[in-house]
Structure 1
Amino acid sequence: MSSKRTHDPYAVLRIPDFRLYVSARLCITLAMQIQAVIVGWQIYDITKDPLSLGLIGLAEALPSIIVSLYAGYIADVVERKKIIVSVISVLMLCSAVLLYFTLDISQVLSTSGAWPIYGVIFVSGIARGFMGPAVFSFMPQLVANKALYSNAITWSTTTWQAASLAGPAMGGLIYGFYGITAAYVTDATLVALSLVAFSFIGNKPLPENADPQNMIDSLRSGIKFVFSNQIILSAISLDLFAVLFGGAVALLPVFASDILDMGPQALGFMRAAPAVGFVLMAIVMAYRPISVNAGKKMLWCVAGFGVCIVLFGLSRNFWLSMGLLALSGAFDSISVIIRSTLIHTLTPEYMKGRVSSVNNIFVGSSNEIGAFESGFTARLMGTVPAVVFGGVMTLVVVGVTAFKADKLRALDLDPA
């Protein structure tokens, strides 16, 4: 056991560049969450088809996956701040186009249906495919001290989930009370604020590459690193399949509109509920970080997530559904923080862009692919059976992973 050293839960927040970083992440995540609520409700209002909600995730995930490996390579050879600023500029343009559609709705969306929206989401998917590895590998450069990685990851993910908490509620409330145009104006403004915050962060040189290679060999070495490390591979595989089968977020517009008979305001709160649980648990972990039996606790928490999804699918009470979504977020918080900490700790600095790109293919796009899976299975078997099936499959994945990945079961995190 480590000694009772004074643990400073706010250590990384005393670093000015890190404060700018989390502020920028707060703004961009708020914007993307607001946009997700607006686009989901808007498309379902146009189509009245749950599969159309799944197609939103597919339109975003496919381009992100396609560019991901190349984006990881770029994040290891180009200054990461330059990539982030360029990508957010593209996302700001996408938000402006979605805003334009609402100003010209009678001529664009009434003529072409939801397809122009899908086109913008496809472009934003490309941009986010480049942003993931760059942001992932940029954060450690702001911290430098590896002993602070867990603290930095906790606050970074807390900020992300706090925005995921507030963003859907803001999107639903602004859309419900002030209309779609005002909601998209808010979205575009927040993207612009994120761009400004990232621009003020100091430039950071790339880490020295201990093994310079051409692009093909470089990509191959990143993939080999992940697949040769059982702990990293099993952790990201667990998260991939759990979210792929257990994600019910894409179908929340159906639950809000047709099953619980509520409106866009309720959808916003339901979208935010998992983040409530996530943030509360992350704050607890900032004060009491997990080290002993981290692997076993991660497996139990993913199983708890699956149980929450099954019960949510069966619930017909709004407040019970909200509580189950919040609890699923608390379980997810532990899993995410453990997985991110071990990836940052076990990966060399000069390889983090490539490893992050592999992680992005496994995990970063699992929400979007899971959204398509949810929409597709909802079309085949109905919304409630699809959600229950997904939760059960999550439990199956946990069982298989626990049986196969002995190193993950035995994982302890160094509390240093």
Structure 2
Amino acid sequence: MFRSFSVFNYRVWFIGALVSNVGQWMQATALSWVVLTVLTDNDAGAMGVTMALQFGPPLLLVGVTGWVADRFDRRRLLMITQGALMLLGGAIGLLILVGAMSLPLMYGFALVLGIVAAFDNPTRQAFVSDLVARENASNAIALNAASFNSARMLGPAVAGVVIVAVGTGWVFVINALTFVGMIAALAIIRPDELVPRAKAQGRARLADGFRYVARRSDLLVTFVIVFIIGAFGMNFPIYASTMAIEFGQEADGFGLLSSILAVGSLTGALLAARRDRARFRIILFGVGLFAVAAAVGAYMPVYWAYAITLMFLGFSIVTMLTTANGYVQTTTEPALRGRVLALYMAVLMGGMPFGAPIVGAVVAAFGPRVGILVGAAAGVVAFSIGLVWLLSSGRVHRHEARRFRLTIDETRPPSVVRPTPEEFSEPIAQTTPIPLTDGRAAPRRGRAVSRPEPAPRRPARPARPHAD
């Protein structure tokens, strides 16, 4: 489960990310609470607009941000984006403390935060694969999600206590200070121990990522599922804050709901770290469980009963997202990883500007329970799309012994054999030949492999007499 910790650079990154993520979750909680209770009178629609401004830029800038993540040094890019996020958090905190913050000004800050995050997110996701070898990439991604959700357990609860004790402004100031942990980690990381990045053949183009995804039906379906859930299901700030108010809770009660959600999220991330690789079927399982948990939570009559359903909701959503992230990263050509991840993050975060205002309007008009049922319905639609594709692709009927088959590439020497995993597309298998010293392919641990029968040897001919 923790095998990536054997790498020095990943250990340093994990600690720095954990500190920074705690601060970011504190800020996310405080931002939602300020918009809902300080700058407006419990206006869920205003929260939807704020979320749309934060998560819209990743969708609009998807081509540029992915190209930047592939073209430039990711470590230096992260130092720039993390420094910018630190300054923005500090500025918001100071304006709130002096009483100068207004709703239009908060909208402006939300937009700038979204622009910086549009460059930060794909770079940060791709950088995780630069820290460890390819065979540990899925584990490192899952542990990264565990760090994110461990912070989610602490951040909202701490933010709720700080808001009640000293006010929301100090939450943003504390968040600005936590970015020092990430910047220090990036400075300590040893650049010479990073995994060498693959270079794209020819000139890297912005459209290459779009063309690559368009040829992969598995990625297209994954992106559609993530978009639907991101747009209508992952509006947790709207759901949790309005449900907390409905149950008569204050800011600390809202923060506690976010932390309880993170308990299930952390469990899902750790279980994902135990899997040897990401599978599409696990994505589908997470979507189905999300739909059931959301539907049940909408009918819970008391605060603690609703809080229990949030654990299952957090488990399901992180299982889906962690597996989807790992699947995209480990099955994508390294030279295109930044652009494909930018598309993935744009689909995930860009769905929120589309769905959050709709969900916010539904909650404002009909109450939070109806809004949660909208998210559950989105889960049913996403699950149906994934299930139809899985059945039509024929993967359900494949025998376990055929999960990995070996094929000889006639254009290469006989010692080069291409493994074609069940979950990988044929173009990916063609780009990852595995040369072996004995002319055969070593089977993966726990996988049945079929090999071509060796050609029978011809009997040696008797030597002809040599003429003088």
TM-score by length of 1: 0.89
Residue 28 of structure 1: CA displacement? 2.5
Aligned length: 396
Counterpart position of 2:306: 321
Q: Which moved more, 1:400-409 or 1:120-129?
A: 400-409
* Paired residues of 1:291 and 1:415 also in contact (CA < 8 A): no
Counterpart position of 2:116: 127
* Paired residues of 2:18 and 2:151 also in contact (CA < 8 A): yes
TM-score by length of 2: 0.80
2:184 is aligned, of 183, 191, 196, to 196
- Report percent identity of matched pairs: 19
State the one-letter code of the partner of 2:334: E
Residue 82 of structure 1: CA displacement? 1.0
User: Residue 12 and residue 179 in structure 1: after superposition, are their counterparts in 2 closer, same or farther (change >3 A)?
Assistant: same
Counterpart position of 1:398: 383
* Paired residues of 2:44 and 2:363 also in contact (CA < 8 A): yes
Answering whether residue 132 of structure 2 is matched by residue 147 of structure 1, we say no
Counterpart position of 1:355: 340
Tell me the secondary structure at the aligned position of residue 273 of structure 1. helix
1:47 is aligned, of 34, 40, 43, to 40
Answering whether residue 62 of structure 2 is matched by residue 72 of structure 1, we say no
* Paired residues of 1:78 and 1:206 also in contact (CA < 8 A): no
Residue 290 of structure 1: CA displacement? 6.2
* Paired residues of 1:175 and 1:264 also in contact (CA < 8 A): yes
C-alpha distance in structure 2 between counterparts of 1:56 and 1:269, whole Å: 22
* Paired residues of 2:19 and 2:179 also in contact (CA < 8 A): yes
User: Residue 53 and residue 415 in structure 1: after superposition, are their counterparts in 2 closer, same or farther (change >3 A)?
Assistant: farther
C-alpha distance in structure 2 between counterparts of 1:385 and 1:210, whole Å: 48
Residue 185 of structure 1: CA displacement? 2.3
Counterpart position of 2:220: 233
C-alpha distance in structure 1 between counterparts of 2:378 and 2:227, whole Å: 12
* Paired residues of 2:285 and 2:320 also in contact (CA < 8 A): no
CA-atom RMSD, angstroms?
Answer: 2.2
Tell me the secondary structure at the aligned position of residue 56 of structure 2. helix
Residue 238 of structure 1: CA displacement? 0.9
State the one-letter code of the partner of 2:167: G
User: Residue 224 and residue 283 in structure 1: after superposition, are their counterparts in 2 closer, same or farther (change >3 A)?
Assistant: same
User: Residue 31 and residue 370 in structure 1: after superposition, are their counterparts in 2 closer, same or farther (change >3 A)?
Assistant: farther
Residue 368 of structure 1: CA displacement? 5.3
User: Counterparts in 2 of 1:6-405, with a 5 A limit?
Assistant: 9-45=1-37, 46-48=39-41, 49-105=43-99, 108-109=100-101, 113-143=102-132, 145-203=133-191, 204=194, 207-213=197-203, 218-251=205-238, 252-257=240-245, 259-287=246-274, 289=275, 294-367=279-352, 369-405=354-390
For each residue in 1:234-268, what CA deviation from the matched residue of structure 2 results, as whole angstroms up to 9, or x when unmatched?
112212202322224132221112x1110100100
Tell me the secondary structure at the aligned position of residue 219 of structure 1. coil
* Paired residues of 1:231 and 1:407 also in contact (CA < 8 A): no
Tell me the secondary structure at the aligned position of residue 126 of structure 1. helix
C-alpha distance in structure 1 between counterparts of 2:113 and 2:92, whole Å: 11
Tell me the secondary structure at the aligned position of residue 347 of structure 1. coil
C-alpha distance in structure 2 between counterparts of 1:250 and 1:197, whole Å: 29
Tell me the secondary structure at the aligned position of residue 314 of structure 1. coil
Residue 206 of structure 1: CA displacement? 6.5
Residue 321 of structure 1: CA displacement? 1.0
* Paired residues of 1:76 and 1:206 also in contact (CA < 8 A): no
Unaligned runs of 5+ in 2: 397-421, 425-443, 447-468
* Paired residues of 2:146 and 2:266 also in contact (CA < 8 A): yes
Q: Which has the higher contact order (CA 8 A, sep 6+)?
A: 1
C-alpha distance in structure 2 between counterparts of 1:69 and 1:205, whole Å: 24
C-alpha distance in structure 2 between counterparts of 1:409 and 1:208, whole Å: 30
C-alpha distance in structure 2 between counterparts of 1:330 and 1:367, whole Å: 20
* Paired residues of 2:261 and 2:310 also in contact (CA < 8 A): yes
Unaligned runs of 5+ in 1: 1-8
User: Residue 260 and residue 225 in structure 1: after superposition, are their counterparts in 2 closer, same or farther (change >3 A)?
Assistant: same
C-alpha distance in structure 1 between counterparts of 2:381 and 2:148, whole Å: 29
Q: Which moved more, 1:354-363 or 1:272-281?
A: 272-281
Tell me the secondary structure at the aligned position of residue 200 of structure 2. coil
User: Residue 163 and residue 373 in structure 1: after superposition, are their counterparts in 2 closer, same or farther (change >3 A)?
Assistant: farther
For each residue in 1:42-85, what CA deviation from the matched residue of structure 2 results, as whole angstroms up to 9, or x when unmatched?
11112121101111111101222222220110111110011110
Q: Which moved more, 1:50-59 or 1:184-193?
A: 184-193
* Paired residues of 1:164 and 1:275 also in contact (CA < 8 A): yes
Q: Which moved more, 1:11-20 or 1:308-317?
A: 308-317
C-alpha distance in structure 2 between counterparts of 1:408 and 1:291, whole Å: 20
For each residue in 1:10-32, what CA deviation from the matched residue of structure 2 results, as whole angstroms up to 9, or x when unmatched?
22111111112112221222222
C-alpha distance in structure 1 between counterparts of 2:170 and 2:296, whole Å: 35
* Paired residues of 2:93 and 2:173 also in contact (CA < 8 A): yes
* Paired residues of 1:298 and 1:338 also in contact (CA < 8 A): yes
Structure with the higher helix share, 1 or 2: 1
Tell me the secondary structure at the aligned position of residue 248 of structure 2. coil
* Paired residues of 1:79 and 1:205 also in contact (CA < 8 A): no
Residue 173 of structure 1: CA displacement? 1.5
* Paired residues of 1:71 and 1:130 also in contact (CA < 8 A): yes
Residue 367 of structure 1: CA displacement? 4.5
Tell me the secondary structure at the aligned position of residue 332 of structure 1. helix
C-alpha distance in structure 2 between counterparts of 1:290 and 1:73, whole Å: 30
Residue 301 of structure 1: CA displacement? 2.1
